[in-house]
Structure 1
Amino acid sequence: MKVSKWSERLFGTPIFDPVVGTSFLLPLLYLLTFLVIPVIAMLAVAFEYNGSFSLHWFKSILTSEYFISLHPQGTFSQLVETSSEKIYYVQGVDFGVVLNSIIVSLSVMLLTTILGTVFAFVMARYDFPGKNIVRILLFVPLLVTPFVNVFVVKKMFLPNGLINWIFYDILHLFPHRIVIDGLVGVIVGQTMTYYPIVYLNAYASFINIDPTLEEQAENLGSGGLHLFRTVTFPLALPGIAAGATLVGIFSLEDLAAPIVFQGNPLARKLMSFQIYSAFTSGFNVGSPQLAALALVMLTIALLMFLGIRKYVSMKEYSMISKGGRWKPRVAKPRGWQAALIYLVVIPMLLISIFPQVGVVLLAFSRSWAGTWPTGFTTAHIKSIVTQPDIERVIINSVTYSTIAIVVIILLSLTASYASSRFKKSKLGPTLDSLATIPIAVPGIVIAMSYFFFFAKVFPDTPLDPTNLLGFNPAMVLVLAYSIRRLPFAARSISAGIQQVHVSLEEAALNLGASRWKALTGILIPLILLNLLGGAMLSFVYCMSETSVGITLGSINPDYYPITARMVELMTSAVGSANLAAALGVFLMTVQIIAIVLANVITKQRYSFIGLT
């Protein structure tokens, strides 16, 4: 009797079943061991001072003007006069490392929300000539090319870059040429990288709005901007807020933009870059102050994540319909609306996809000194298969990502099965939260926590990051990839499990089948498409993983993943941006294949994970 009550409380079933127990305990123990405990190990370092518990390192951050300055230094912009012309130079002002990071993150959230929502609303609500082409073009910014796309963004805003060529040389809309750098450069680079996240979430929200609600509001006299502000936007808010929050977290942890713009001191005064620079300057990561800084970053990210979930949960967004699927409201744009679409929205889209286009141009060019690259060549693309060190990093990344995907699928399947099928369990909510929370944990924080964790648990072994020449990051990277990309596959698999009625498994159990037989013979075949789709998309994200790859993955050159080699090519004096672009084209090709296959397999467009 006691065992029965214990089993029912813990696992949601009165009779202990090894399959049910494993489904709960395997992902739970894995996440506790390789997510929670490493963070606790970092906590121990951050709160220790002279052998005792202390807030010393946090106070050193909060009281230092280098980290938090209420009196900003520098000028946001200035007009610089050269020998031939005047240039408007924009870089931002310095509020200290912590406040700079928060300001950049909030700015990127705001700009991506505006950009993504505009694109999503136009695509969801208007039918205009060329819409299918625009739909394809909106797919382009989804292609992740770490470092190189931001490098192209930087080139776009040089005195002879694309932006000045269009708005100063051709349209004469700028009184002076504009150059962006520093924090403003980081904001622009991140905005052009991350706005598709908001677009995808906002688009899904707009097309899922019951059209009768807007029709009722119109019958009562509402319309135009008032209708959008009071009905449409509030109903779409959960999706938009989810996308914006993800952007804020990704901006906070981003390293690509700060690294590309690091020539300006302001771009280096961000939390992510400060932690990264510790790895590149002799790997002196053992500083308790850096551990405290990483925890400050983690706290901000978690507050953003939990805060937006709390805000969204405080309001009611559900819709009442008669059942079935409704047809979204799509209308022909009026004259002024069509003018805005063709003269404002589409030109904005064309500019926003240029970073990805620029990556391809850079990969096939000999040099890029002016507005456009010059000299066609395939040498850089050929280097992918002919240059041994490039081949090695590709093989490394494929190996790490493949092993990580096996772990991700196993964890996602067991966690989703346990939390979806056994809702009475006491462990269910904990497991569900642990499987979702990695999306809110910055990659650089995981890198830092793993550094302290493996240095303490496995000192002087190939798993010890402080053992520079003997360190083999393969296992550490696989663990980090499996933790970081778990929510993406878990979401896909969980959606599939929820669509399979539990009565199908119960019928098999009533006919004498074991729980294992019901799982492998009934459930898994029915969700196989969701499983494969989630696996391929997670594989894409593992291949392009940046934060962990260029920190822990860059300690030993023999085990570089692709991103570690890319950042070396972008920053080294003897590196080649063209070769880095060639690797970017390789990653884009892998992403295109994976996303197309995932869409074909799952019969639906892929959307980024949300928070609701």
Structure 2
Amino acid sequence: MRLSGFNMHSLARKVREIEIGTLLSALIIMAILTYFIVLPIFYVFIGAFSTSKGFGLDNFVLYFNMPSMREGLMNALLAGVLTTIFTSLVGVTAAFIVSRYDFRGKSFFQNLSVLPVVIPPFVGAFAMIYMMGRNGLITRLINYALKSIGINPYTIGIGYGLLKPNLWSLVFIQSIHLWPIIYLNVLASLSRLDPSLEESARALGAHGFYLFRKVLFPLVFPGYVAGAVIVFLWSISDIGTPIMLGFLKFAPYQAFAELVVYMGDVEYSYVICFILVVLTTVVLLVSSRIVGLKEYATARVGVARGEVIRKVGLKGHVLIFAFFMIVLILSLIPHIGIILVSFTEIPRYGELFPSKFTLRFMSAILTDIRYAIAPINSLIYSLLAMIIDILIGLSIAYLLVRKRFPGQRLLDLIAMMPLVIPGIVIAIGYLRQFSEPIPGIGRLTTFWFILVISYSMRRLPYSVRACEAILRQIHVEMEEAALSVGASRIKIIFKVLIPLMLPGVLAGGLLSFVTAFTEVSSSLILYPLVPPITEHARPLTLEIYLMVQRGVTEAFGYAGCLGLIQIIVVAIVFYISNRLLKGRLGIAFGG
């Protein structure tokens, strides 16, 4: 039977070919992802357009009529653009130098170049304020040096601190933290290029910057765009850095403040989240379109002889050393600051250097349950989120790689959504969605497990992509051989696939764990609604925030130690993940 060219027999055959178990599994996972990823975003959209009269654009009109809100949105856009420019200049230059030149200390600089990623941005911003704020160590040293040569630092705007609550300070802090993302992406792309192309270009007279601009950069452009998009989207949705900096006129912070700090017009928070989602979508579509305009595949010419590595002379060494020393000194200021604030007494007014080493802050963190409970809570929440991500990520990867069913591309799209949707959007969406009681459960927003759910959904893409990548490397013939000797599907998964996939599964799970451990948006937005009786369930990020907000000198030492614990955990997990991924940690950042 054929209706308007539609073959009913063909459709029936395709339906029979789809395993019932596969379809049922896909529907269950799709329902879970829709409920915990798609619906929160939908609720944000509903909130943005809901008015006392029904639905309309009244909230947007009120939002754009407020000068402070317009300025906050403009600052977010400018921060994204400027941070992307500065990180591109540093990251692309560093990647080109490391991949194409042989110089003394190369391995040393390569190892140090990933350290900015190790320190969580929220903690890094706090450490930068300690070092370069109004009474920061670097500020005091510069003020002392200027006064010694007869210059009043206050007359030239330095006396009150190098970092101020403004756009440029925000961009500076974001840039020194994010440049390794572009560096890792471009370096990975350069390492995959066919060396014969570069050799041919050199033979035709292309050298130096001309060679890079006309030959190399166009070939690594997709990798660069992947890193640049991550940097831009991270920058415009950052709430941790402006909170620590006290930069109030920044759109994500305004969304957070209206909801949590001022408890005022929550409609503005929904409008800001809607705008952030639109911006994110536009950036992704435009970047995909730009990359898709050209063909970047390269044909291998002749036999490759390895990467094109050039020796550098004395002048080259001086320039390379100067570049890396400036970049790394600036990038490592937060690491130095967090160590100083953790193990020294805060200098009194008039003191140039910390005068006393102390272990009392760290001792209290490790021995007093009032301080130790926050790191323990975050470890538990992140481990639970990691387990959820591994189970769901493994299931999704298996369905995407080994099965065929209707809606497969949609499942992949929804699973990847949290990677590009700002965390503040999902957190505020959860706030609206789960504020109403669920029959038999109650209000999820009054239960700490809402943090585990939010952490796991936000970090699910890491686990999905890691499991998918490793599964594609396992030939399907291994499963067919097991089937031929009578093994069941379940037995094949547990006895054949999972043991082979274990390194990739663990690497993806650990990346989910460490990013959940340092999560800011969900911790600050969702937890404050948990009743006071469960204050002992605070996550680590929230505890650091509350200590810093006290404004008491004593609290800075405890906040620093908690931040140092975050850094140590992140460093250990990144190291293990890098070993499991065989040195390809850059895939976590799009490389």
TM-score of the pair, normalised by structure 1: 0.86
Residues 570 and 608 (structure 1 numbering): CA distance in 2 closer, same or farther, change over 3 Å?
Answer: farther
Alpha-carbon distance, 1:15 to partner? 4.1
The match for 1:488 is 462
1:590 has 2:569 as partner: yes
C-alpha distance after superposition, 1:260-289 (max 9, x if no partner): 221xxxx201111112213443645x7223
CA contact (8 A) 1:400 1:478 kept: yes
Q: 1:196 aligns with which of 161, 167, 180?
A: 180
Residues 308 and 609 (structure 1 numbering): CA distance in 2 closer, same or farther, change over 3 Å?
Answer: farther
Where 1:319 maps in the other structure, the secondary structure is coil
The match for 2:3 is none
CA contact (8 A) 1:491 1:609 kept: no
CA contact (8 A) 1:162 1:371 kept: no
1:568 has 2:549 as partner: no
The match for 2:104 is 129
Alpha-carbon distance, 1:434 to partner? 1.4
1:526 has 2:526 as partner: no
The match for 1:506 is 480
Matches within 5 A, 1:10-409: 14-18=17-21, 20-68=22-70, 96-158=71-133, 161-162=137-138, 165=141, 169=145, 178=158, 179-181=162-164, 182-262=166-246, 267-281=247-261, 283-284=263-264, 287-321=266-300, 327-368=306-347, 372-409=353-390
Residues 248 and 368 (structure 1 numbering): CA distance in 2 closer, same or farther, change over 3 Å?
Answer: farther
1:440 has 2:424 as partner: no
State the alpha-carbon separation in 2 of the partners of residues 515 and 506 from structure 1: 10
Where 1:485 maps in the other structure, the secondary structure is helix
Counterpart of 2:270, as a letter, is: A
The match for 1:515 is 489
Residues 518 and 22 (structure 1 numbering): CA distance in 2 closer, same or farther, change over 3 Å?
Answer: farther
The match for 2:4 is none
Between 168-177 and 26-35, the greater mean CA deviation after superposition: 168-177
Between 449-458 and 398-407, the greater mean CA deviation after superposition: 449-458
Residues 250 and 3 (structure 1 numbering): CA distance in 2 closer, same or farther, change over 3 Å?
Answer: farther
Residues 6 and 611 (structure 1 numbering): CA distance in 2 closer, same or farther, change over 3 Å?
Answer: farther
Between 267-276 and 452-461, the greater mean CA deviation after superposition: 452-461
Residue identity over aligned pairs, in percent, reads 29
Task: Indicate the RMSD between aligned Cα atoms, in angstroms.
Answer: 2.9
The match for 1:91 is none
State the alpha-carbon separation in 2 of the partners of residues 400 and 416 from structure 1: 24
Which structure 1 segments of 5+ residues have no match?
69-95, 466-470
State the alpha-carbon separation in 1 of the partners of residues 545 and 272 from structure 2: 23
Alpha-carbon distance, 1:217 to partner? 0.9
Residues 44 and 7 (structure 1 numbering): CA distance in 2 closer, same or farther, change over 3 Å?
Answer: farther
Residues 388 and 199 (structure 1 numbering): CA distance in 2 closer, same or farther, change over 3 Å?
Answer: same
Where 1:67 maps in the other structure, the secondary structure is helix
Alpha-carbon distance, 1:54 to partner? 0.7
Which structure 2 segments of 5+ residues have no match?
1-6
State the alpha-carbon separation in 1 of the partners of residues 287 and 140 from structure 2: 38
State the alpha-carbon separation in 2 of the partners of residues 22 and 519 from structure 1: 17
Counterpart of 1:112, as a letter, is: T
State the alpha-carbon separation in 1 of the partners of residues 43 and 546 from structure 2: 30
Residues 374 and 547 (structure 1 numbering): CA distance in 2 closer, same or farther, change over 3 Å?
Answer: farther
Alpha-carbon distance, 1:345 to partner? 2.4
State the alpha-carbon separation in 1 of the partners of residues 142 and 322 from structure 2: 14
CA contact (8 A) 1:23 1:417 kept: no
Task: Pick the structure with more helix per residue.
Answer: 2
State the alpha-carbon separation in 2 of the partners of residues 7 and 561 from structure 1: 52
State the alpha-carbon separation in 2 of the partners of residues 325 and 605 from structure 1: 22
State the alpha-carbon separation in 2 of the partners of residues 345 and 163 from structure 1: 23
Alpha-carbon distance, 1:450 to partner? 0.4
Where 1:316 maps in the other structure, the secondary structure is coil
Alpha-carbon distance, 1:544 to partner? 0.7
Alpha-carbon distance, 1:490 to partner? 1.7
Counterpart of 1:378, as a letter, is: L
Alpha-carbon distance, 1:133 to partner? 1.6
State the alpha-carbon separation in 2 of the partners of residues 155 and 48 from structure 1: 43
State the alpha-carbon separation in 2 of the partners of residues 552 and 169 from structure 1: 46
Residues 237 and 297 (structure 1 numbering): CA distance in 2 closer, same or farther, change over 3 Å?
Answer: same
Residues 3 and 17 (structure 1 numbering): CA distance in 2 closer, same or farther, change over 3 Å?
Answer: farther
C-alpha distance after superposition, 1:288-341 (max 9, x if no partner): 232122111221122223321222122222222379986222222234322211
Residues 273 and 258 (structure 1 numbering): CA distance in 2 closer, same or farther, change over 3 Å?
Answer: same
State the alpha-carbon separation in 2 of the partners of residues 527 and 452 from structure 1: 38
The match for 2:397 is 416
Where 2:585 maps in the other structure, the secondary structure is coil
Alpha-carbon distance, 1:478 to partner? 1.1
Counterpart of 1:436, as a letter, is: M
Between 134-143 and 564-573, the greater mean CA deviation after superposition: 134-143
Alpha-carbon distance, 1:410 to partner? 1.2
Alpha-carbon distance, 1:259 to partner? 1.0
State the alpha-carbon separation in 2 of the partners of residues 325 and 416 from structure 1: 34
TM-score of the pair, normalised by structure 2: 0.89
CA contact (8 A) 2:196 2:302 kept: no
Residues 324 and 496 (structure 1 numbering): CA distance in 2 closer, same or farther, change over 3 Å?
Answer: farther
Counterpart of 1:149, as a letter, is: G
CA contact (8 A) 2:109 2:324 kept: no
